[in-house]
Amino acid sequence: MNKVMLVGNLGKTPEIRHIASGTAVCDLRLATNESYKDKEGHEVKKTEWHKVVVWGKQAENCSKYLKKGRKVYVEGKLSTRVWEDSEGNKRYSTEVIAFSVKFL
């Protein structure tokens, strides 16, 4: 099973683009936070950044209604893309393909 559920805050205002077929694609940068106590009992805070890709009508709604700092719930799947950079090196990018984005 490939399923991701995240609750976090947007690190920047969503960016929308349209592919050749006219379908909307929106990129979100989502920050999730966790905190825990280390061995000495000190609180440690950690932020993890996620690239989220939203398609279609949902992408248009994200672009229209979401701004930097807004809290969202994202449900989707992990996907890794592979490509070659300008120097011929293999590059990898892991992102969440969103099935559902709920504005909190």
Residue 66's closest CA among 77, 75, 54? 54
Residue 19's pLDDT is what?
96
CA distance 97 to 71: 18
Length of the chain: 104
pLDDT tens digits, one per residue of 15-37: 999 999 999 999 999 999 999 99
**Phi, psi dihedrals of residue 8, rounded to the nearest 5°:** -165, -175
pTM of the entire structure? 0.86
pLDDT digits (tens, 9 = 90+) for 37-60: 999 999 999 999 999 999 999 999
The pLDDT, as a whole number, for residue 30 is: 98
Beta carbons of 103 and 72 less than 8 angstroms apart: yes
Query: Distance between CA 80 and CA 16 in Å, rounded?
Result: 20
Q: Which of 33, 24, 82 is nearest to 53 (CA)?
A: 24
Nearest to 72 by CA among 35, 17, 31: 31
Of all residues in the chain, the percent with pLDDT exceeding 90 is 99
pLDDT value of residue 61 = 97
